[in-house]
Amino acid sequence: MSVTTDSPISAVLEQLRSDIDERVEESAEAFFRDVVISAAGSAYEPAISAVSGGKRFRAVCALIGAAAATSVSHLEYADSVHLLESVGSDPRVQALTTALELYQASALVHDDLLDGADTRRGQKTPHVYFAELHSRENLWGSATNFGRDGAVLTGDLLLSAAFNALAGALPYSTTNQGLELSRRFSLMTGEVALGQWADTGISYLPLSANEDGLQILDTATLMEVVRQKSARYSIMHPAVLGAVAVGAGEDVLEILARTLEPAGVAFQLRDDALGAFSEEAEIGKPTATDIVEGKRTVLLALTLQNAPLSVAQRLIELYGQSELSPDEVEEVRGALRNFGNEAHEQLISELTTQALGVLEAAALPDSAKDLVRYLIRTVTNRSS
């Protein structure tokens, strides 16, 4: 989330983000000390590296969801800044934001393994770290397998650390609040796992183009995978969990869910566009990976639907090839930009309008609307 400091909301979130960074690393380190055995000490460095840095998207969404819910029940907090400061010091919300970021680290470790990504935020990904460790220490067997095994288990370790951090909210919650927070958090992680599997399955579908038209990706199916794998998890679930943590009623939870689900889809579509057209230095991860690995995106589907047959056939020929030259990568980008990007941007705009429309019609205080509106604008207009 590319956050500027030209508004009071941005400024207070930047302050809270620093606190979140510190808590996440401290929580991961403490959990590692509690569970580590001497023979597994090599997992420490990649685990701690995985939780360091990042934009803290999910934590910010949880803060905004909690602040919006607090504005409904505590009208004495008249403005957005005071609302954010209030929930930022709430131990229930602190436990949740820590848990969300530890889970995000877990998901990224596994995601980078599935995608074959070598770096994340300028650091080696865990499967690369462990493979190099295998080679340095002249271990028996396959370095690739060793790296894979280490990454799977490091991701599992961080998932456990996330649930451990979430338990920190329980002493400050009613029994029902604690149960609901745990239940919804578990449902979120399960939804992401099955969404990832759905995405993996789609990635194995063949691409084809013939004289009768394209026999390929169904945009509606891809949109559903986007919704289940990442859109709800990235924006909606964290905000709703933030509201649950402070005891929000079902009416507030429903408003947040209906408002932020389309915003989350727009967020993921924006992420795909950034992955296609930005440079690595701008977004902190390799940008040709989606093209080289043949990621099935809505942008690709729209391009294949709109491109002339010759362009579509050439795109299919290049897309997903592991050894593309810089010129070939630019050729793919050109096709995506010329034949898919306009429709893709229109879809992002429609989803953003939908989210804002639900928000404006909702029975929420102005301060809550200011916060949620800020979130929608930030995640859909971001540049990194």
How many domains in the chain?
1
Q: Is it the case that residue 213 has pLDDT exceeding 60?
A: no
pLDDT at 121: 85
The neighbouring-strand residues paired with 213 are 210
Indicate whether 3 belongs to any domain.
Answer: no
Q: What CATH number is associated with residue 91?
A: 1.10.600.10
Confidence of residue 212 (pLDDT cuts 50, 70, 90): low
Q: Are 162 and 100 in contact (CB under 8 A)?
A: yes
Between the CA of residue 83 and those of 32, 69, 100, what are the distances in Å?
Answer: 33, 9, 20
Q: Are 293 and 320 in contact (CB under 8 A)?
A: yes
Q: What is the pTM of this model?
A: 0.92
Q: For the segment 33-61, what is each residue's pLDDT rounded down to a tens digit?
A: 999 898 889 999 999 999 998 899 999 99
The pLDDT > 70 percentage for the chain reads 92
For the segment 151-157, the average pLDDT, to the nearest whole number, is: 96
Mean pLDDT of the chain: 90
Lowest mean pLDDT among 68-72, 85-89, 380-384: 380-384
For the segment 286-309, the average pLDDT, to the nearest whole number, is: 85
Q: For the segment 346-372, what is each residue's pLDDT rounded down to a tens digit?
A: 999 999 999 999 999 999 999 999 999
Indicate whether 132 belongs to any domain.
Answer: yes
Indicate whether 195 belongs to any domain.
Answer: yes
286 token code pair: 């390799």
Q: Is it the case that residue 342 has pLDDT exceeding 90?
A: yes
Indicate whether 291 belongs to any domain.
Answer: yes
Indicate whether 1 belongs to any domain.
Answer: no
Q: Are 54 and 238 in contact (CB under 8 A)?
A: no
pLDDT at 299: 95
Give alpha helix (H) positions in 42-142: 44-51, 57-73, 80-88, 91-115, 126-136
Radius of gyration of the chain (CA): 21
Confidence of residue 282 (pLDDT cuts 50, 70, 90): low
Indicate whether 370 belongs to any domain.
Answer: yes
Indicate whether 2 belongs to any domain.
Answer: no
Q: Is it the case that residue 5 has pLDDT exceeding 50?
A: no
Indicate whether 72 belongs to any domain.
Answer: yes
- Domain limits for position 258: 8-381
